[in-house]
Amino acid sequence: MLKAALDTFWSENVWLPPNTTWDDIAPSPEKAVVYTDSNHVFYPIPLALVFITVRYVLEKYVFAPFGRSLGIKETRVRKTPSYPKLEAAYQKSANRIKDITALAKSSDLTERQVERWFRLRRSQNKPSTLVKFCENAWKCTFYVCNFSFGLYVLWDKEWLWDIDQCYIGYPHQGVTNDVWWYYTISSAFYWSLTISQFWDVRRKDFWQMFVHHIATIALLSFSWVCNLHRVGTLVLLLHDCADIFVESVKAAKYANYQKLCDTLFLFLIVVWISTRVGIYPFYIIWSTSIRAPMLLPMFPAYYIFNSLLCLLLLLHVVWTWLILQIAYNTVRAGQMEGDIRSSSSEWSDSPQDSNHVTPNHNDANNKKSK
């Protein structure tokens, strides 16, 4: 039954162009083209565990000491007094506490003390600024390295300069060793993010990012199996470019380098909009939706592939709107003070997060009072 189900799922009529079989694109030393091996989609999973290990070592022995040298403190919230009934209520629902009056009576506390206990208890689960800085430093380091590697790999590839080459001759397009490594490393990294997301810094866009990671892994896996790796490499390169600034802005903010943060944020807006809202829909998706049907016969899996690309675009639009909200408030603060500053309250964990940079009005208020 399992074999029958797998045979049905991997039907050639679904995954391959007309008049093409799995044997036609199966790797073999006798063939002139080096085809992708579908079994290799599982290689990134153990490599993801290597990434998690490397990340742990770098964060502990490189990024954390570097963060401390920048003055980032690993502040720890004092533990709350032990109240079993309050703890049970917190574990049941941390954000919505029902019947505070009853909890206060059963714990022999005032309602205000109960509310204060819950605020302190929630603070215990928040990671320190140093922890968040290390996470962003790790991601930024990877994106810089991966983008540089991707640019090196694709620089001499014809489809980087002429996207029609992604479809001409498909599916009989060979894969080189450098493209194999670029695909495997990128897939492993997103697998590592998907795994570590459940114990990383918890953000308000947790499920958005989870969907993003799953969609990215699905795109990489499907495109590899179907030998559509050329388009996949372009999507990877485009995304890594903007992600460098996403993570570096947050790291600079946590290090309290406000001028650097403002400068990087300006670059983020320019790069993000030009790549995620410009090149991606009007070049990549336009090519996959308009040019591809002109150059090769369509098949069901291609529509799946293109739908996942559109899903990523939808996430880009949502995040772009939130980033523009950040930009609007930041510019408004700059107009009020003559400079772009942030409040003492901590910035959102994510540029995509709705809790954005808020202007610091302390100096302006002091001037008014004077």
Token pair recorded at residue 41: 């989609």
Number of domains comprising the chain: 2
Burial letters 124-155, b for 16+ CB under 10 A, else e: eeeebbbbbbbbbbbbbbbbeebbebbeebbe
| Ramachandran area for residue 304 (φ above 0: left; ψ -120 to 50: alpha; else beta) | alpha
Which residue shows structure tokens 């993003």?
A: 212
Q: Give every CB contact of residue 122 below 8 A, 6+ residues apart in sequence.
A: 94
- Distance between CA atoms of 142 and 57, rounded to whole angstroms? 14
pLDDT band per the 50, 70, 90 thresholds, residue 40: very high
Can you give the pTM of this predicted structure?
A: 0.79
Token pair recorded at residue 56: 């742990």
With the C-alpha atoms ordered 184, 148, 243, 227, is the resulting torsion angle positive or negative?
negative
313 lies in some domain: yes
Q: How far is residue 341 CA from its own chain's centroid? A: 26
- pLDDT, tens only, 288-314: 999 999 999 999 999 988 988 898 899
Domain co-membership, 139 together with 285: yes
Domain co-membership, 217 together with 110: no
- pLDDT, tens only, 196-220: 887 776 666 677 778 878 888 888 9
Q: What is the DSSP string of 1-35?
A: -HHHHHHHHT-HHHHS-TT--TTTTS--TTSSS-P
Domain co-membership, 241 together with 98: no
Domain co-membership, 119 together with 133: no
Domain co-membership, 294 together with 325: yes
- pLDDT, tens only, 112-158: 877 777 777 776 667 788 988 999 999 999 999 999 999 999 999 99
Q: How far is residue 55 CA from its own chain's centroid? A: 16
Domain co-membership, 170 together with 309: yes
47 lies in some domain: yes
Domain co-membership, 319 together with 351: yes
**Full domain range(s) for residue 118:** 84-124
Over the chain, what is the mean pLDDT? 82
The answer to whether 229 touches 175, Cβ cutoff 8 Å, is: yes
Which pLDDT does position 352 carry in this prediction? 38
Specify the range with the lowest mean pLDDT, choosing from 14-28, 184-198, 226-240, 336-350. 336-350
Q: Is the pLDDT of residue 367 over 60?
A: no
Domain co-membership, 92 together with 176: no
